[in-house]
Amino acid sequence: MDPRLVTAVIVVVGVPAVLVGYIWLTELGLRLFGQRLRPRIRPWLWLAPALAFLAVFLVYPTIGTFVRSLHNKAGTEFVGIENFAWFFGNASSLIALRNSLIWLVVLTAITVGIGLLIALLVDRVRYETVAKSVIFVPLAISMVAASVIWTFMYDWRTPPEPQVGTLNSVLGSAGIAPVAWVQQSGWAFNTILLVVVMAWMWTGFCMVILSAALKGINPELLEAARVDGASERQVFRGITLPLLAPTIAVVTTTMIITALKAFDVVFVMTSGNYDTQVVAYQMIKQLYDFGQPGRASAIAVILLLAIIPVMALNIRRFRAQEAIR
């Protein structure tokens, strides 16, 4: 029999068997303890595998990355904050930092803003499902494929040749000279064009989540407000928006993290040329092209630190909400 088939069978049958086996084993072990202690130990035993995975695959690498970021190229010598100093003293990484900031602000604004708008608009129409599906579909496309699609959208050919890029052929039919879109680095215009690609994919995601939250709002509340003579705008600002706020916060956090992780679009569409590099792209470049694991780790740490305030805000919000319940 094909060894892969054997492996598949083992995985399908074996993994659940191991899980069940583990639970039974812990029960066996628990018999060593007194009746009173058991309920207090049991949850920890059940959590142990997950915690072990977290420790091995998340905590240990994080600490390792931090330690590595304080060492030189070969990892043999402690260099303190030299790698961080390099990052902030380097023209190319400062542009990457600026671009990541643009990604963060513009991507979040477009996806959450337009996502919310669409969710509100389609909430009242009969063809809601169709409209939502159409907007959601791009999320199913892989990031690389989406980038390739948009490479064709932005394509530019030396003028006498026919423009096969969608945008430029539209311009051409209006009699306007074609523009080499991804090379327009003035005002970071090309970076914003790349953000649009990601926004095209993620707006649907924001819309679906916000739309679900919208459906969760008790219609009686809206009804009551309207009966009391509130205008639609007042209903939205006074009732809908506050009730949607926790969801908007979650979606915004997700998009901020997505923006900071942006890499694929830049890699496929410009390879970081024309001043479109982002922080995550610099990290990959340092690690693989430049053989600088120390610097790459430093960039990873910077990215991690940049996300912490967002996480902290989120947790505070979550706690506040729990307190209300």
Partner 1 sequence: MIEPTRSFRIRVLAGLAAIAVIGAACGGSTTSPSPATSAPPASVPASGEVPSTPSDDLSGQEVTVIGTWGGTEQDAFLAMVKPWEERTGATVKYTGTRDLNTVLTTGVASGVLPDLAGLPGPGQMTEWAGSLVDLSGVLDSATYSSETAAPLVELGTVNGKLVGVFIKTAVKGLIWYNPSVIDLSGGAPATWDDLQGVVSQNASKAQAAWCVGIESGAASGWPGTDWIEDIVLRQAGPDVYNSWWQGQVKWTDPQIKSAFETFGSVVAAAYGGGTGVNATNFQVAGDPLFASPPGCLFHHQASFITGLGGFATATAGTDYDFFPFPDIDAQYSGAVEGAGDLFGMFHDTPAARSLMAYLVTAEAQDIWVKIGGALSANKNATGYPDDISKRSAEALLNAKIFVFDASDLMPAAMNSAFWSGVVKYASDPGQLDSILAELDSAQADAYGG
Q: Is 162 in the site for partner 1 (CB under 8 A)?
A: no
> Exposed (0-12), middle (13-18) or buried (19+): which is 91, by Cβ within 10 Å?
exposed
Residue 101's nearest CA partner among 272, 302, 321, 260 is 260
Q: Which of residues 90-109 bind partner 1 (CB under 8 A)?
A: 91-92
Question: Beta partners for 78?
Answer: 71
Strand, coil or helix: 90: coil
Amino acid (one-letter) located at 144? V
Which residue among 61, 64, 113, 159 contacts partner 1 (CB under 8 A)?
159
Which residue among 17, 37, 52, 241 contacts partner 1 (CB under 8 A)?
17
**Residue 43 beta carbon to partner 1: minimum distance, rounded to whole angstroms:** 16
Q: Is 24 in the site for partner 1 (CB under 8 A)?
A: yes
Question: Beta partners for 71?
Answer: 78
- Encoded one letter per residue, x for contact with partner 1 by CB under 8 A and - for no contact, window 255-274 reads ------------x---xxxx
Q: Which residues are within 8 A (CB) of 35 and not within 5 positions of it... i.e. 6 or more apart?
A: none
**Residue 158 beta carbon to partner 1: minimum distance, rounded to whole angstroms:** 3
Q: Which is nearer to partner 1, 3 or 229 (CB)?
A: 3
- Encoded one letter per residue, x for contact with partner 1 by CB under 8 A and - for no contact, window 74-93 reads -----------------xx-
Q: Which of residues 26-45 bind partner 1 (CB under 8 A)?
A: 27-28, 31, 35, 38
Which residue among 66, 84, 156, 189 contacts partner 1 (CB under 8 A)?
156
Structure tokens at 172: 């051409």
Instruction: Give the 3-state DSSP-derived string for 37-74, with helices as H, strands as E and coil as C.
Output: CHHHHHHHHHHHHHHHHHHHHHHHHHHHHHHHCCECCC
d(C-alpha 248, C-alpha 85), whole Å: 36
d(C-alpha 217, C-alpha 239), whole Å: 9
Question: Is residue 214 within 8 Å of 232, Cβ to Cβ?
Answer: no
Which residue among 34, 43, 160, 229 contacts partner 1 (CB under 8 A)?
160
The residues binding partner 1 (CB under 8 A) are 3, 6-7, 10-11, 13-15, 17-18, 20-22, 24-25, 27-28, 31, 35, 38, 73, 91-92, 156-160, 180, 183, 185, 267, 271-274, 285, 288-292
